[in-house]
Amino acid sequence: MRTTYITALVIALVLLGWLYSGDHSTPAEPASIAELNRDQAEIDSDSIPTRVRVAVFDATEQSRIIKVRGKTENKRTVMVKAELNGTVSERPVERGDRISKGDMLCRISTEDRRASLVEAKAALTQARIDYQGALRLKERGFNSQSAIAAAQARLAAADANVQRRELDLTKLTVNAPFDGVIEDVHLEVGDYLTPGAACATVVDLDPMLLTGRVSEQDVIKLDEGQLATGFFRDGGTVAGEISFIGHQSDPATRTYPIEINLPNPDYTIRSGITTEIHVPVEAVLAQLVSPAVFSLDDAGEIGIRTVNKDNIVEFYLVEVLSDSPQGVWVTGLPLRANVIVVGQELVVPGERVDPVFEPQAALPAKTPVSKPETATAVAMNSP
C-alpha cells in the first residue's frame, strides 16, 4: 500500500514539473533581416531561373516630333468683280487657265462711254475759257470775286468729270489681281452685268500653305522659321518653314493655328489635301524596338522588361517617339539595354532569369509564348 502512494506521488511530481516547464518556456526570438535574406537566398538558389531570350539595343540620336493633323490650303482666293454695268464683249479665260497679274479676265462693251468722254472734254474746254474771261473782266474792274469763284468751280467740276469718264474706260477691262489659276468663271460673252457682279474666281497657289492646329502643350515648343514636313496619303512629302503661329486659342478646342509655307511654282500641290505634319523639336536618344516587347505595369503604363548585369529583371517605363515599318522608336531605356524579346510575360521585375543573348540584327522581337516549357524549349533549341 505504501509503495502505491510513493509511485503516485512520483507521477504527480513529474506531471507538475512538465506543466511548469510549458507555462514558463522562453518564446522564440523573431528572425533578423539578415537571416530572412539568407533564407530567401537559399530558396532562390534552390529554384531554377526562367530562361529568356535577350537582345541588346543601343540608343541612337533621334528627333522628338510633334505630329499635327492638317491640310493644304491656298493662300488667297479672290472673286474678281466688275465695277461698271454693261454687256460682256470678251472673256478670254477658261477654268484651269494659269494667268499672270494684269491679264484680262473679261471686257465690258464701251457703248456710249467714249462719246461721254468727248462731251466731258468739250465742257472742260468751255469752262476753262469762261474762267479765263472772268479773270480778264476782274482786271478791268467789271467782275466780282464771287463770279470768279463760281467760274473756277465750274472749271474744277468739268475737269473732274473728264477724269471720271477716262477712269470708266479703264474699268471696262477686268484684270487679274495676282498670278494664279482660274478656278471658276461666272459670265459668258453677251451676259449683262451690274457693278459687283463676279467675272472669275482666281486662286493663288504659290506659295501653298500647310495649316493645322496644335495643343497648348506643344505650341510653346514651336517657333517661326522651324522646318516642318508634310506627309500625303499617297506617300508624297513636302517641306517648308513655319510662317505663322497663332497667339489666341480656339475657345472650344484650346488649340492654336499654325501655317507652313510650301514653295509651289509649278502648281502641283492642290488645295485641301489631308496632310500629317511633322515638326522636329529636339534631339533625344532612343532605341528601335518591336511593339511585341511592350508590357504594362500595374497602373497600365507602357514599359519594357530588361535584364541587368546580375541577370535580374527590371521594368522601364518608355515613351513612344514615332513608328516605322521596322519598329517603334522609344525613350526611357538605358543607353545599352538588354531587352527580353522572348518570355517577357513569364517573368516579373526582381526575378532572376537565365538569359540567352542574341545579336540585335539577327533576332527581331517576337511575341511571347504562353507556356513556360515552350519558351524554354525555344531558347534551348535556338542556334
Say which residue the cell 470708266 belongs to. 168
Which residues have a Cβ under 8 Å from the Cβ of 199 and sit 6 or more positions away? 80, 81, 82, 91, 105, 106, 174, 185, 186, 187, 193
Q: What is the pLDDT of residue 359?
A: 66
- Closest to 286 (Cα-Cα) out of 325, 334, 352, 326: 334
Overall pTM > 0.85: no
Q: Which long-range contacts (CB under 8 A, 24 or more apart) does 317-326 make?
A: 318/294, 321/62, 321/63, 321/64, 321/65, 321/284, 321/286, 322/62, 322/65, 324/288, 326/288
- State residue 145's pLDDT score: 79
Do residues 265 and 207 touch, judged by C-beta distance below 8 A?
no
Which pLDDT value is given to residue 134? 78
3-state secondary structure the chain: CHHHHHHHHHHHHHHHHHHHHHHCCCCCCCCCHHHHHHHHHHHHHHCCCEEEEEEEEECEEEEEEEEEEEEEEEEEEEEEECCCCEEEEECCCCCCCEECCCCEEEEECCCCHHHHHHHHHHHHHHHHHHHHHHHHHHHCCCCCHHHHHHHHHHHHHHHHHHHHHHHHHHCCEEECCCCEEEEEECCCCCCEECCCCEEEEEEEEEEEEEEEEEEHHHHCCCCCCCEEEEEECCCCEEEEEEEEECCCCCCCCCEEEEEEEECCCCCCCCCCCEEEEEEEEEEEEEEEECHHHEEECCCCCEEEEEECCCCEEEEEECEEEEEECCEEEEECCCCEEEEEEECHHHCCCCCEEEEEEECCCCCCCCCCCCCHHHHHHHHHHCC
**Predicted pLDDT of residue 26:** 47
Asked if residue 66 lies in contact with residue 216, where contact means CB atoms within 8 angstroms, the answer is: no
Best CA proximity match to 338, nearest among 299, 374, 312: 312
Q: What is the pLDDT along the chain (383 residues), one digit of tens a residue?
A: 566 767 777 677 767 766 666 544 444 455 567 666 666 655 555 568 889 999 999 999 988 889 999 999 998 999 999 989 899 999 999 999 999 999 999 999 988 888 888 888 888 888 888 888 878 777 777 767 778 888 888 888 888 988 888 888 888 899 999 999 999 999 899 999 889 999 999 999 999 999 999 999 899 999 999 999 999 998 899 999 999 999 999 999 899 999 999 999 999 999 999 999 999 988 889 999 999 999 988 888 999 999 999 999 999 999 988 888 889 999 999 999 999 999 888 889 999 998 988 865 444 444 343 333 333 333 333 33
Q: Quick one: cell of 247?
A: 497667339
Distance CA 304, CA 299 (A): 14
Nearest to 205 by CA among 286, 269, 275, 287: 269
Q: Hey, what domains does the chain have and what are their CATH numbers?
A: 50-62+284-381 (2.40.420.20), 66-74+204-283 (2.40.30.170), 78-200 (2.40.50.100)
Annotate 213-252 with b (16+ C-beta within 10 A) or e (fewer).
Answer: bbeeebbeebeeebebbbeeeeeeebebebbeeeeebeee
Taking a C-beta distance cutoff of 8 angstroms, is the pair 367, 292 a contact?
yes
CA separation, residue 376 to residues 50, 200, 352 (Å):
8, 75, 15
